[in-house]
Structure 1
Amino acid sequence: MENISSTAYLSSLPELPGVYQFFDSSGRIIYIGKAKNIRKRVSSYFNRSHYDSAKVRALVSRVADLKYIVVYTESDALILENILIKKHQPKYNILLRDDKTYPWIVIKNEPFPRVTTTRRYENDGSMYYGPYTSGRLLKALLDLIRQLFPIRTCELNLTPKNITSGKFKSCLEYQIGNCLAPCIGNQNETDYLNNIDAIKKILEGNLDAVLGLISNEMTKAAQELKFEQAALLKERLRLLQNFQAKSSVISKGINAADIFTFLEIEGHAVVNFLKVSSGVVVQSYNLQIKNIVDEPIDDIFSQAILEIKERLNLKSTTFLVNINPAYQLSNIKYHIPKQGEKLKLLKLSLRNAEAYIKEIIRNEERANPQTRIQKYLEQLKRDLQLPELPVVIECFDNSNLHGTNPVSACVVFKNGKPAKKEYRHFNVKSVTGPDDFASMREVVYRRYKRLIYENKNLPNLIVIDGGKGQLSSAYETLKELHLEHIPIIGIAKRLEEIYRPGESTPLYLDKRSMSLKLIQNIRDEAHRFGITFHRRKREKKNDTSILEAIPGVGKKSVIKLYTHFKSIENIKRASLEDISKEVGPKTASNIVSFFKKI
């Protein structure tokens, strides 16, 4: 067939909404995508001179054939893509993983439905509620349901034919009053299903409707002089009111809402769904997303919303969201709240998503503590286009006060963690006045001249705390030492721009990216280490000036005093006898008298 990456072939594609499929040379589908405009979307894969993602580059290199299906609307494209992905499971499509380890309450799709729990969600026509991250809440709900309504727990097939034929006998649950024995015809299906409808309302959080229903039935039973039935209904009413009192009311101003939020932290993406009914959160559901070929966030958000809507059988026509999905579902409206109660609910959903991501990260780190660090370093390598993994990173920072007491600091990070034993301070020797560029040239030269002389390993990446000027000074020094092959960057504080030698335009990393956070962490540590050294040196100089103001105390005396007492505070607290041992009784007397006066 014609080369699908050719301009002629791409220009022949329709400019209509639809779904496209990429095939490899063996005829296997490797990727399925949706598009508002098939030609523009497909062309975007092949008209690039550079690929930011290695996975996208690998995908494109394997595409041997293309097929597409034109549909009427964006909504149709989204739904068809979802169906085809589930059917074919292509290698490069996003993976949607839900929190299946949490239990659900399920109302089975069967005659006289059972109400039970499961950890496996199946498309079997049953009604699923959950999942429940709190086992205590799950147990409380089931206990309440079983106290309120006599429902069966057996697995018998209660078809009308089996019941009327007398195939079954009543069990112990009937004898102790937990079940009305529909298996032997003691309870008709209409009465049983009324109880199931009330249970559904409880699980949906609509407690007020159930309370009203039970209250009306209780009043009716009392009026008909059915006092035992009225007493039973009164007890049910009390149990339900107690449960409602313990429920956490989240929003008094909003009765019902369906909220979807997308959140990505440290490469982990999650869509959280939160359902509010009667002002109470009755359902929270998380869907983890593996974005294999870096699809746009709004695209995968659309797909995740559709997936959750289908799995949970959602009926609402308005969804609160934190970002607008790329594709509009039929009869669904999206709203991004800006203030008020709806915004609070949106933030609550984001908190749930964040908690779930942190749980994923904790589990990964528990299984393999090095995984997280390795992931950060690999991301940094990609973002900075480094030739090798930056296992060893060194960072330089200058400190001075109006050109006085100039010092520099070098910190070393190995595998993303500070190697404090390898930190180094530098007293700047060849520079007078506030000249950051000259200071940087000196310390970089001294650092790497020594490493070369001692035949020690060189870093995989050098970070300079500063902009173009400091970076250029450091790079010129590396060239002088024939070390220009070592990657070096500068980070400017104001906008956190990343500068590289020979490039006039800075690199802007995502403010949320772990690459930038790692660079910032190293830069901040170099600044802390350098400023601490500078402050200590300045204080020591001030202390030296104070001592030399005392009669009889010269430079040699100062050296003796500091060698023994370590600090000016220790000298102040020392006795006349202790000071005399170092500088003689007359000078010691002058020192003690001096400090008593100040």
Structure 2
Amino acid sequence: MSRDLILMSSELKDKLSTIPSDPGVYFFKDKKDSIIYIGKAKCLKKRVRSYFNKKKHDIKTSVLIKHIADIDILIVKNEAEALITESNLIKVHKPRYNVFLKDDKTFPYIKISNEKFPKVEIIRFKHFNKDDHLYFGPYTRSRDLRKIVKLLHKVFPLKTCNDKSKESCFCGFCLSDYNISEIKYEEIINHVISFLKGKTDGVLTYLNSEMKRLSEKMEFEKAATLRDQISLIRDFYKTENHIKTDEKNRDFIGICIEDSVGVVTMIKYRNSKLISKQSYEVNIGENDDMALIGFIKQYYISTMDIPKEILIQESIINQEKLNKWMNALGKKTPKVIVPKIGEKKSKIDLCVKNSKLQISRIMLTKKKRKEYVSKMVSSLQKDLLMEVPPRRIEGFDNSNIQGKYPVSSMVCFIDGKPRKSEYRKFKIKNVKGIDDFASMKEVVLRRYKRVLKEQLPLPDLIVIDGGKGQLSSSKDALDSLGLAFIPIIGIAKKMEEVFKPNISEPQNISKTSPGLMLLKRVRDESHRFAIQFHRQIREKGMLQ
């Protein structure tokens, strides 16, 4: 195991263990949650782990690894899409440790010009801008792309020359055996568009018939060439994205819900380029659909970046209602689409897949937190010789002035930290005069009668602010309820001595023990809370 993997935080190790083997893009972040590096991978799991498994790296990578505090990933359809996405995101985020020469990288597109007899050609540019032409891409395998376009010109009589040029031309259009009308040429261009969208059956049928004809004529060399062209087309369309490129801004939103945990993943496309991926944990109510509707409303109320289209996985939001809501906000209204098939549906599925991955990480983190026991709690378990760690501690204290306005408090600590939402206040009802022992018994009895009645969680340890007398009274209350199995201790104020029931001598606990420090915190917090409540009651009584 490498030194980098040994020094890695447990949280980072957990994330590494959840990375899938899909193709995608990975993000390394620093302590400030800023993206410091973006990379692509055919297999995310192998690529990301390679940073931490190797014993030796170059200087730049070694420095990068030292600054990695978090890892995020985006799953995509294939390696080609990962390459394009990586390039786009590097241009947007400009991470510190990426080579910025990548910003100059361009990808080829196929352009079908908008003219009387359109041309089909390959062009390159960094920024896709709206114009009257039709574009397909971007593509990553430029060499094969040139072969495909060359093949198109062989199969179809496409025009390459300029009408105004007086030079002789040898393009398929000019060398055609028959005159091609504008209507006929439009039909040819439609075949080309279908081919570029991945609908290759018509072209492949034509090429197969030609190959068979050439074979029958014993022209095996030409037939073999066609065979290679057919294989090229089939292989090319397995990896590339053949979708019509347009300028529409789109947000793809996919939600996944498991065990009351919901995650929404949003992938943003601007001018046909993937510019960002974000995952959000959402609150889940009785209706799962409301979680996504709530997210859409909450997100778009806080942004001015409204896309033309919002694509979601299910019809859970009415377009008319969204129109009214967006109009009320004074914002442009996007069109809500629920794709059922095709490339857009694939992107929604990727959003859902990324949400599932994020949920698995959240569940793993929650499980780790549940299993984690703090140093203070572990120390207290050893100090009191308890069978289980006291993860839930409830502490009690009384407060009064010469028997007037008597009150009690209960505080709750979970995993060594105060849980204020579970604090409780009590007015003493049945005790007259100054009787701290009876007051403590009354409060403990009332508290755990209600706990049993409402089936609330029982504490792992009860802490009483006081000595043997208060402890004994509280123990009697527990026994009367059949709760003698709950550990209970008393902590005296003067000597910070800890007592157990039926043991006259205090427990032998080191004054520097983290466990004793936790008991003192519980005792002091219950004392503070009791005094605060007593003052409130006393001030009200004096005003009456």
Provide TM-score, normalisation by structure 1.
0.29
Provide TM-score, normalisation by structure 2.
0.31
